Structure 1
Amino acid sequence: MKLPVDLSSSMEGGRDQLAKLSSTAFMCIIIGNLMPSIGPMDNKDILLNVTAVGILVITIFVNVCIQFTTHVINTSKYDIAGEHVMTMLFMLLLLVILSFLALAVPISKRILELKYRDMHKTISTEEPKEPNKSSVEILKDVVRKYWLMAEIGSPQFVMARSATSSVSGAICLVVAVLLVKTEFRMWSSSDEAGVANSDYAGSTFLILWIQSIGVMLGTIAPIFRWFTAISFRCSKKEGDNYRNQLKVEDYWIQALAEWKESPSLPLRIRDSKCRRLIQNTKNSILSFSTRVQVLIVVTSKTVCLISVFVVSLILSGLYCSKCLKGKVARNGHKGSDIAPGVELDLNRYVLRLEGEVDLPERILKNISDALDKLIQKAKKQQPEKLMKLLEKSSGFKGIVEFDSNQVPSLHSEEPPNSWSLPVVTLTSIAISLPNIKSHIADSLLCSVNEGLSYASLIDQSLENIEDWINLKDAANFVWVRVELYRKWLDKDLQMMALKGKTCRENLQRLADIAKDYVMEFLSKVNRGPEHEPLNWPVKVIAANSM
């Protein structure tokens, strides 16, 4: 974005002028691609990212307007003022759409979370429709339901298929066509179009073509979102009238309504007139923003409906011509390679917002097939060493007894146990035992390394994972040293195994080292945040586990 914000450099050449235009067009494509990405962000990240993009876009807009008045952008010689103005307006429009789309993200995620919890209760209490199925097949069906909910209900996918996000594809397409058309017109009509008279010299040629290629490639994803939204609505079975399809759902304006109903701004102003003025100003701004949001949503849905109408006419014409030529069967357009019952089985577990159309069966089938492919891939890539270790296991009685005696608590005098840390600690003990052959120890390390990836997944699913981050760090800290250097807290486990006479002696030595480490730490810290078990250093947590 260097060229469109450069106010001082004289850029009279045609190539220079095109490079400025390609930069603003590229900015439009950036915003169009950013829209689905705000879905997974939390509220703070959304605010920071949208604000940052807004500052950049407004800076570009103001600087380009200044260049118009100072004739840095030469509109008389190359006649590209209209293209610049249209690109700038599209850039501002995309920024407005992005900003108001961001307002709907928190509410949408809240609604989807509630629907997910309700569906989770339904799935957990459901009885299998086919009792004769094996437990593996029943488990696979349950995973398929959750997989479907996670894929279709993911905030990124929800934002991508929203009306306002999909219509950005149409805007990006117009911007790309506008840039290509201007480049072809200037290169073909003027001999001076390829000349660069600025201080940037030949670098403008590189900038122009890199950004032009970026515009072409960056337009692909927004266009696909637009076409996907069209295909969803083309496959819609129910015949809703246009008024229902243009309805603005509550989640679009709910955030603005909540802000409007909230108390006045927290300013300590005693004058009632000033407080009333502030309150009225806030209400006026929010009312105007609500109307803008409604206008954006209605316009976006209108563009989608017009697109659907045009595409339907084209498809109908193609279908009629094929029928006349006799190249398709009478019921060919109704055919489907989807197994019977897919809609009946899977549509119930699709998480949708109000007003969203039913997803086509092929989308559900593709998502379901993706899970099947993943399962088949996993079967071919099973953790062989971990499987061999589990085959040697005589059961999980010791783990059950250990786990039943450990009640995780965030306010206990010791840190709660995770899944990974005890495994790492037990492996460290095994390496330190005497009379263990090196190849057996190496095999154990490989097996545990494969298993830790699964244990870490369970650790990540803990409700208080943010509070337990030190436990995860402690497990990683210990494991890296055990796996690579055969050391536990800088104590050489292999040397301990060679020098040790009995298992009991080595165990006692490790216990003494760990106890001294913890007691030394506790003696140094006073009662305070550092004394809280979850705030202990990773080495102390690892020693406590031992």
Structure 2
Amino acid sequence: MDTDYQVKEFTHKVLNQTTPLIGLYIAAASAICTLAMAADVFNGFRSRKFWFPCKYFSLNAVSLTLLAVAMKLPMDLTTDMFTNTDWLGKLSSLIFMSTVVVHFMPSLGSMNGKEILTNVTALGILVITVNVNVWIQLTALEARENGQSRTALLSATIFAIVLLLALVSLAIMVPTMKRCVESKYQEMYKVALMEQLVRTGVAYDGIHVGDVKKYWVMVETGSPEFVAARSVVSMASSAIWFPAAMTLVNRTFWISSTKAIKGFYVDSVSAYGSAMALIIIFQLAGVCVGTLSAAVKWFVFAHAMCSKTADRSFKKKSQIEAFWTQRLVDWRGNLSSLHIRHYRCGKCLHAAKIRILNLCVGVQFSIVLSSKVIVFVSTELLSILLWCLKCFKKSKTHPSDVTTSNDHVESESGHGTEQDLSRFVILLEGEAKLPEVTLKRICNQAENMIQTGKRKKPKNLIELLKKVPTSGE
């Protein structure tokens, strides 16, 4: 018995010596995820796409693997992790995971139905597994664990589940959304083509410059990633995540103070050694990057909803459009998915399927309605804040200057190109108008591409056309 005990003690000691190396592995995965998110944010600012497309860090197998490695701390049930730094690392990991979930939302638009099902299921399993592990730890160590850190960890798990439900809700809508966008694009394409055929004016290589901008606006505004990013669920996730992240980060620094946790929590050393500090630093940096992108994205679209021309009626905004639940309704009405010969078993399974899908439709309805309420309330608060700032600015400005400035803005907005091309913006039913700055950015991008085409000839295309044999050869 003594020999077996000594062997177990030796094995446990050897494994504890390798724990800091595992910590470095976790820190490296966290750093890669943070740098990839930062690259997406930088690319969004550089291209003035303030909905921040997921170019470098999207929902796929590689990113899910990196995220799973970065979540080693809250999933660790074997290592002795009772220090102040350990609980801080678990909390930062949970916040980091929720930040990544919010960041992934626009990337759903670039996937087909099978990819959405596979990737969202994998992410859901990861999030639920991490949360279950945290709940097990909090339950088993309830007598030893500090109440403040327990509250912070529970709050982080709740936010992670809420954001996962929002991601699933958006994933259910994406396939139907793509069909709606494609239908609207075809309608607008016919209108633009008809106007191109009957138009008069100066042409550029057979195509009017205005026609090029029309098609460009349709393609940009109809991008599935862009539509997913500006959806009400994505906006609500950004709206609730910004204050939540700030609160949780504040709680993180509060827990890290020596006054917050007493006893052996402060005196002992983490099993992961100095690698724990790197993990916390990289993950909190990722939280800051993700929170910045969420705040900017929400502000851009919420500011457009505060404009005078926007519909401020909550009754209209609270209506749930059919494309949110259409896919679930289609599944509910599909009887061919159950191939059971036994009549009674088939009938029972079909009834169970109907009840489950009815429950899913109700949950989807509740998530979308809650998102609309969150967006409406946050937008109204922003409107009040902007109104106060406007009043303060007027009190500091001469009346004649204000009149001149307003006339200048009205003249620009009334005769700009954006006003003409707004007819070709692809919007879903019930969706608010795009911000003027977004439409202007799209038009400027089209203009830059046209000017680039004038200056630089497509050399590769010319070489390819030279190699194509003519009909006489």
Q: Which TM-score applies when normalising by structure 2?
A: 0.77
Counterpart in the other structure of 1:69: 139
2: CA distance, partners of 1:70 / 1:170: 34
Report the equivalent of 2:219. Answer: 150
Return the offset for 1:239: 3.9
Q: 1:40-74 CA distances to partner (integer Å, 9 max, x unpaired)? A: 11111111110110110111011111111221895
Listed one character per residue, the Cα deviations across residues 440-499 of structure 1 (whole Å, up to 9, x for unaligned) are xxxxxxxxxxxxxxxxxxxxxxxxxxxxxxxxxxxxxxxxxxxxxxxxxxxxxxxxxxxx
- The aligned residue for residue 57 of structure 1 is 127
Corresponding residue for residue 294 of structure 1:
365
Offset, 1:237: 1.0
**Partner in structure 1 of residue 240 of structure 2:** 171
Pair 1:204-2:276 in alignment: yes
SS of the aligned residue for 1:376 comes to helix
Judged with a 3 Å threshold, the aligned counterparts in structure 2 of structure 1 residues 200 and 307 are, in CA distance, closer, same or farther, namely same
- Report the Cα offset of residue 229 of structure 1: 2.4
* Cα shift readout 1:355-375 (whole Å, capped 9, x = no counterpart): 011223332121100111223
Asked if structure 2 preserves the Cα contact closer than 8 Å seen for 1:15 and 1:195, the reply is no
Counterpart CA distance in 2 for 1:257 and 1:388 is 52
Change (3 A) 1:323 1:172: same
Letter of the 2:300 counterpart: T
Alignment of 1:107-122 (within 5 A): 107-122=176-191
Which one of the candidate residues 186, 190, 203 is aligned to 2:255? 186
Does 1:268 find its partner at 2:337?
A: no
CA deviation string 1:175-208 (max 9, x = no partner): 3213321232123435877766332111111111
- Any conservation in 2 of the 1:28–1:94 contact (CA below 8 Å)? yes
State yes or no: 1:223 paired with 2:295: yes
Conserved 8 A contact 2:233-2:371: yes
**Equivalent of 2:81 in 11, 14, 36:** 11
State the Cα deviation string for residues 284-304 of structure 1 (Å, max 9, x = none).
111111111111111111111
2:299 maps to 1:234: no
Asked whether the 8 Å contact 1:161–1:229 carries over to 2, the reply is yes
Counterpart-to-counterpart distance in 2, 1:136 and 1:73: 78
Query: 1:86-107 CA distances to partner (integer Å, 9 max, x unpaired)?
Result: 1101101111111111110000
Counterpart among 409, 427, 430 of residue 352 in structure 1: 427
Residues of 2 paired with 1:384 and 1:102: CA distance?
A: 41
Moved over 3 A (4+): 127-130, 135-139, 190-196, 331-334, 336-339, 377-390
Q: Distance in 2 between matches of 1:250 and 1:401?
A: 56
Q: Cα–Cα, structure 1 residues 195 and 380, in superposed 2: closer, same or farther, change >3 Å? A: farther
8 Å CA contact retained: 1:236, 1:357: no
Match of residue 361 from structure 1: 436
Alpha-carbon separation, structure 2, partners of 1:113 and 1:294: 24
C-alpha displacement of 1:387: 6.8
1:330 corresponds to which of 403, 409, 419: 403
User: The residue matched to 1:39 in structure 2 has which SS?
Assistant: helix
Secondary structure of the residue aligned to 1:199 is coil
| TM-align CA RMSD | 2.7
Note closer, same or farther for the CA distance 1:388–1:161 as it changes in structure 2 (3 Å cut): closer
Q: Secondary structure at the match of 1:330?
A: helix
Q: Give the residue type in structure 1 aligned to 2:470.
A: I
Return the offset for 1:173. 1.5
**Aligned mates of 2:423, 2:336 — CA distance in 1:** 43
Instruction: Determine the structure 2 residue equivalent to 1:94.
Output: 163
* Separation in structure 2 between the aligned mates of residue 389 and residue 127 of structure 1, nearest angstrom: 28
What percent of counterpart residues are identical? 35
> Does the 8 Å CA contact 2:230/2:301 hold for their aligned counterparts?
yes
Aligned partner of 2:316 among 244, 248, 251: 244
**Which amino acid counterpart does residue 291 of structure 2 have in structure 1?**
T
1:75 is displaced (CA, Å) by 2.8
Determine if contact 2:239/2:378 at 8 Å carries over to the other structure: no
Q: Secondary structure at the match of 2:208?
A: helix
The counterpart of 2:415, out of the listed 317, 340, 343, is: 340
Q: Which residue of 2 aligns with 1:470?
A: none
AA at the equivalent of 1:280: A
Q: How does 1:393-542 map to 2 (within 5 A)?
A: 399-401=470-472
Superimposed CA distance per residue, residues 490-532 of structure 1 (whole angstroms, 9 cap, x where no aligned partner):
xxxxxxxxxxxxxxxxxxxxxxxxxxxxxxxxxxxxxxxxxxx
- Correspondence for 1:253: 325
Match 1:159 to one of 222, 228, 236: 228
Is the 1:164–1:297 contact (alpha carbons within 8 Å) kept by the matching residues of 2? yes
Larger radius of gyration: 1
Higher relative contact order (CA 8 A, sep 6+): 2
1:312 to 363, 371, 383: 383
| Partner amino acid, structure 1, of 2:157 | M
Partner of 2:112: 42
Give, as a single letter, the amino acid of the residue that structure 2 aligns with 1:320. Answer: C
Deviation string 1:386-435 (CA, Å, 9 cap, x unpaired) is 87999xx8x99x62556xxxxxxxxxxxxxxxxxxxxxxxxxxxxxxxxx
Q: Structure 1 residues 239 and 33, CA, compared in 2 at 3 Å: closer, same or farther?
A: closer
Which amino acid in 1 is paired with 2:221?
A: I
In the aligned structure 2, how far is the partner of 1:158 from the partner of 1:293?
18
Q: Structure 1 73/260 Cα, relative in aligned 2: closer, same or farther at 3 Å? A: farther
Is contact 2:239–2:375 with CA below 8 Å preserved after alignment?
no
Residue 235 of structure 1: CA displacement?
2.2
CA distance in structure 1 between the aligned counterparts of 2:100 and 2:464, rounded to whole angstroms: 50
User: Alpha-carbon deviation of 1:316?
Assistant: 0.8
Between the aligned partners of 1:172 and 1:219, the Cα distance in structure 2 is: 7
Distance 1:321 1:375, change over 3 A: same
Call closer, same or farther: CA 1:129–1:320 in 2, change over 3 Å: farther
CA shift, 1:346, in A, is 0.6
- Which of 101, 112, 124 matches 1:31? 101
The 8 Å contact of residues 264 and 279 in structure 1, kept in 2 or not, is answered as no
| 1:362-377 → structure 2 map (5 Å cutoff) | 362-377=437-452
Matches of 1:348 and 1:333, distance apart in 2: 25
Structure 1: which 5+ runs fail to align? Answer: 403-546
- Aligned partner of 1:313: which letter? I
